[in-house]
C-alpha cells in the first residue's frame, strides 16, 4: 500500500519526501480512528477488552496518533510547497529522508511500548522509557530528544532552501512560524513535580500550537492552495495572510488564559483569558471570508471574461479547503467560544462538551486542509493538470464530515446533560459524576457517538481508496 501511489512524475526530491510523510500520516489517521472506536465502545460496555486493551491506552493512542499524524502531514505539506514557493530544490533532502526513517522507527517503537506496557507505577525510568504522562504529547524522554533532532533537520532544510531560493511572503511567514511551532515543543519537556506548573507549561505546547502557530501554518497552506487551485492573485492572498497572522497571534497568545482558570494559577487570568480568548473567533471569521471571497471573486472574473466557471485545478483539494474554512470557524470559533468565558467554563470544564469542541476543532481546522494537501500531492505525483472529484472522493468527504459532525452533536448533548445534572443540580460531587453518566440522555448520546464514529470510519475507507486510485484515474481521463 505504501508504494501504490506512484511518484515518478515528481522531479523534486523534496516533494517525493513530502509524499513519504503523507503516506505515514494517513496510516496513523486510520490507527487513530480505530482507537477512537475502541474507546467509544468502552463508554457503552466498560468491560470491553478490559485488561487487554484498557480505555486509558485506547484513549492515549487515539489522541497521540492524532497529533503525530497531523505533524507528519504538516511536514509533508511543507516539503510539497517548499520547492514550488522558493523555486529551489530542498538543500539537504538526503538528510531529510534519513530523518524521516529515524522518526518513523521511533514512533513505531513508542506506540508498541504504549500497547505492551499498559499499567504500572510512574517513576523516573518510565518517564524516560515509557510515557511522559502529558496528554496529547506523551512520548517518553528518549523519543522527545529524537524528535527534536529530526525537527532540527527538517527546519534546516526549510530555512536553508528559503535562504537559497525566492523569498515570497508566504514562505517568510512559514519560516518564522515553523521556528515558533518547533520551539514550543521544548516547553512540554520541562520537568517539574508540581502539577500546576506542569499544566502551565503543557498548555504552552497545546494551546499555543492549536490556537496560534498551527492556525498560522494552515493560513500559509490556504494561501498557497488558493493560488495553485483557483489562480487567486498572490498580492491579495498575501495581504490576507499578514492580517490573519497579526490577529491570530494578537488574540491567541493571551487567549491561553482560558486554560488558567482552575489549575492554581493567579486569578487575574480570569479577566485576561475571558477577554483575549473571546476575540479568537475574529481571525477565524477572517480566514473563512478569505477563502470564500477569493473563490467567488475568481469565479466572477472568469465569468466576466465569458470563460467557463470551472477553473478549479483540483476538485477534491478545493472542496476540503472550503470545508476547512467552515470547520475552523465552527469547531474552533463557535464551539470554542461557547465555553471560553470563566462564568460558563466553571460549569462546562472537562465535560463531554470539551470533547465535542476537541473533535470538531481538530477535524475542521486541521484534518480537512491536510487531507486537501494530500490530494494536491497526489495530483503532482501523477502529473495531472486537472483533477476532478470522483464518486469515492465525494463519499469520503461526505461520510467523514457527516460522521464527525454527528459525533460532535452527540457529545454536545452529553455535555449539556452533564452541565445540568452533574454540575448545576448535584454540585459536581463524585457521586454526581456517576449519576449523570447513567442517565438515558448521556447513554443515548454515547451510543450515537459510536454510530457516527462508524460512519466516519467508512468515510475514511473511501478516502484512502480514493487517494490510492484518483491519480491514475485522472491520468486516464
Q: For residues 62 and 228, which CB has a smaller minimum distance to ligand HEM in the complex?
A: 62
Least distance to ligand HEM, CB of residue 303, Å? 34
| Residue 10 touches which member of Fe ion, ligand HEM, none, C-beta under 5-8 Å by kind | none
Cβ-contact 442, 415 below 8 angstroms: no
The CA-CA-CA angle for residues 362, 50, 37, to 5°, reads 30
Nearest residue relative to ligand HEM (C-beta): 336
Residues near 147 by Cβ (< 8 Å), separated by ≥ 6? 103, 106, 139, 185
* 207 lies in the site for Fe ion, by CB under 5 A: yes
| Residue 90 touches which member of ligand HEM, Fe ion, none, C-beta under 5-8 Å by kind | none
- Interface with Fe ion in residues 208-237 (CB under 5 A): 211
Q: For residue 289, which of 251, 252, 239 has the smallest C-alpha distance? A: 239
B/e letters for 128-150, b = 16+ CB within 10 Å, e = fewer, are eebbbebebbbbbbebbebbeeb
Least distance to ligand HEM, CB of residue 104, Å? 21
Least distance to ligand HEM, CB of residue 278, Å? 7
Q: For residues 339 and 380, which CB has a smaller minimum distance to ligand HEM in the complex?
A: 339
Q: Helices in 279-425 by DSSP H: which ranges?
A: 281-304, 315-327, 335-338, 342-348, 352-361, 368-381, 391-417
Cβ-contact 372, 317 below 8 angstroms: yes
Q: For residues 164 and 263, which CB has a smaller minimum distance to Fe ion in the complex?
A: 263
Q: Helices in 305-341 by DSSP H: which ranges?
A: 315-327, 335-338
Residues in contact with Fe ion, counted by CB under 5 A, come to a total of 2
Q: For residues 381 and 463, which CB has a smaller minimum distance to ligand HEM in the complex?
A: 463
Least distance to ligand HEM, CB of residue 425, Å? 19
Least distance to Fe ion, CB of residue 253, Å? 11
Q: For residues 161 and 277, which CB has a smaller minimum distance to ligand HEM in the complex?
A: 277
Q: For residue 449, which of 32, 6, 44, 27 has the smallest C-alpha distance? A: 44
Q: For residues 368 and 390, which CB has a smaller minimum distance to ligand HEM in the complex?
A: 368
| Residue 355 touches which member of ligand HEM, Fe ion, none, C-beta under 5-8 Å by kind | ligand HEM
Q: Cell 476540503 identifies what position? A: 320
Q: For residues 258 and 380, which CB has a smaller minimum distance to ligand HEM in the complex?
A: 258
Least distance to ligand HEM, CB of residue 83, Å? 28
Which segments within 47-107 are labelled E, that is strand?
none
| Residue 201 touches which member of ligand HEM, Fe ion, none, C-beta under 5-8 Å by kind | none
CA distance 373 to 327: 16
Least distance to ligand HEM, CB of residue 254, Å? 12
Least distance to Fe ion, CB of residue 177, Å? 18
25 burial (CB, 10 Å; 0-12 / 13-18 / 19+) is buried
User: For the range 235-242, what are the long-range contacts, defined as Cβ-Cβ under 8 Å and sequence gap of 24 or more?
Assistant: 236/294, 237/170, 237/290, 237/294, 238/168, 238/169, 238/170, 240/286, 240/290, 240/294, 241/169, 241/170, 241/173, 242/169, 242/173
* 16 lies in the site for Fe ion, by CB under 5 A: no
Q: For residues 206 and 227, which CB has a smaller minimum distance to ligand HEM in the complex?
A: 206
CA distance 310 to 180: 38
Kindly state the DSSP code that residue 439 receives in the 8-state scheme.
Answer: S
Residue count of the chain, please give it: 477
Cα–chain center distance at 110: 20
Least distance to Fe ion, CB of residue 361, Å? 9
Q: For residues 175 and 332, which CB has a smaller minimum distance to ligand HEM in the complex?
A: 332
| Percentages of the chain per state (helix, strand, coil), in multiples of 5 | 80, 0, 20
Q: For residues 62 and 207, which CB has a smaller minimum distance to Fe ion in the complex?
A: 207
Q: Give the interface with ligand HEM as residue ranges (CB under 6 A).
A: 33, 36-37, 39-40, 43, 59, 62-63, 66, 135, 210-211, 258-259, 277, 280-281, 332-333, 336-337, 339-340, 345, 349-350, 354-355, 357-359, 361-363, 365, 367, 404, 453, 456-457
User: Residue 368 corresponds to which cell in the numbers above?
Assistant: 480537512
Least distance to ligand HEM, CB of residue 54, Å? 12
* Site for Fe ion, rule CB under 5 A: 207, 211
Amino acid at each position: 500500500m505504501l508504494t501504490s501511489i506512484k511518484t515518478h512524475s515528481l522531479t523534486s526530491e523534496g516533494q517525493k519526501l513530502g509524499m513519504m510523510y503523507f503516506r505515514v500520516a494517513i496510516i496513523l489517521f486510520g490507527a487513530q480512528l480505530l482507537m477512537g472506536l475502541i474507546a467509544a465502545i468502552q463508554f457503552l460496555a466498560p468491560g470491553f477488552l478490559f485488561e487487554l486493551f484498557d480505555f486509558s491506552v485506547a484513549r492515549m493512542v487515539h489522541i497521540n496518533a492524532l497529533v503525530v499524524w497531523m505533524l507528519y502531514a504538516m511536514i509533508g505539506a511543507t516539503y510539497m510547497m517548499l520547492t514550488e514557493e522558493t523555486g529551489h530544490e530542498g538543500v539537504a533532502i538526503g538528510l531529510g529522508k534519513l530523518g524521516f526513517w529515524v522518526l518513523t522507527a521511533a514512533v513505531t517503537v513508542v506506540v508498541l511500548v504504549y500497547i505492551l506496557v499498559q499499567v504500572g507505577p510512574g517513576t523516573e525510568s518510565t518517564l524516560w522509557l515509557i510515557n511522559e504522562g502529558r496528554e496529547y504529547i506523551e512520548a517518553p524522554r528518549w523519543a522527545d530528544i529524537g524528535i527534536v533532532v529530526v525537527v532540527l533537520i527538517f527546519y534546516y532544510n526549510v530555512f536553508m532552501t528559503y535562504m537559497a531560493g525566492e523569498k515570497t511572503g508566504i514562505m517568510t511567514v512559514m519560516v518564522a512560524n515553523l521556528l515558533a511551532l518547533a520551539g514550543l515543543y521544548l516547553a512540554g519537556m520541562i520537568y517539574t513535580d508540581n502539577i500546576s506548573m506542569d499544566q502551565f507549561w503543557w498548555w504552552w505546547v497545546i494551546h499555543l500550537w492549536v490556537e496560534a502557530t498551527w492556525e498560522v501554518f494552515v493560513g500559509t497552506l490556504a494561501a498557497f492552495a488558493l493560488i495553485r487551485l483557483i489562480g487567486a492573485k498572490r498580492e491579495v492572498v498575501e495581504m490576507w495572510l499578514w492580517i490573519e497572522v497579526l490577529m491570530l497571534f494578537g488574540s491567541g497568545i493571551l487567549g491561553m488564559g482560558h486554560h488558567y482558570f482552575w489549575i492554581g494559577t493567579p486569578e487575574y487570568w480570569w479577566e485576561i483569558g475571558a477577554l483575549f480568548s473571546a476575540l479568537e473567533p475574529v481571525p477565524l471569521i477572517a480566514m473563512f471570508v478569505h477563502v470564500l471571497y477569493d473563490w467567488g471573486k475568481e469565479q466572477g472574473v472568469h465569468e466576466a471574461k465569458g470563460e467557463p466557471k470551472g477553473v478549479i485545478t483540483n476538485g477534491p483539494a478545493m472542496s476540503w479547503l472550503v470545508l476547512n474554512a467552515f470547520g475552523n470557524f465552527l469547531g474552533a470559533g463557535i464551539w470554542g467560544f461557547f465555553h471560553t468565558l470563566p462564568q460558563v467554563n466553571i460549569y462546562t470544564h472537562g465535560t463531554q462538551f470539551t470533547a465535542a469542541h476537541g473533535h470538531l476543532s481538530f477535524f475542521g481546522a486541521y484534518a480537512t486542509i491536510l487531507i486537501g494537501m494530500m490530494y494536491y500531492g497526489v495530483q503532482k505525483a501523477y502529473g495531472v493538470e486537472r483533477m476532478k472529484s470522483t464518486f469515492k472522493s465525494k463519499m469520503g468527504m461526505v461520510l467523514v464530515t457527516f460522521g464527525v459532525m454527528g459525533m460532535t452533536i452527540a457529545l454536545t448533548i452529553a455535555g449539556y446533560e452533564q452541565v445540568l445534572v452533574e454540575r448545576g443540580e448535584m454540585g459536581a460531587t463524585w457521586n454526581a459524576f456517576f449519576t449523570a453518566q447513567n442517565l438515558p440522555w448521556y447513554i443515548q448520546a454515547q451510543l450515537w457517538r459510536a454510530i457516527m464514529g462508524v460512519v466516519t470510519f467508512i468515510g475514511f475507507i473511501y478516502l484512502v481508496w480514493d487517494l490510492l486510485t484518483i491519480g491514475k484515474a485522472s491520468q486516464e481521463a
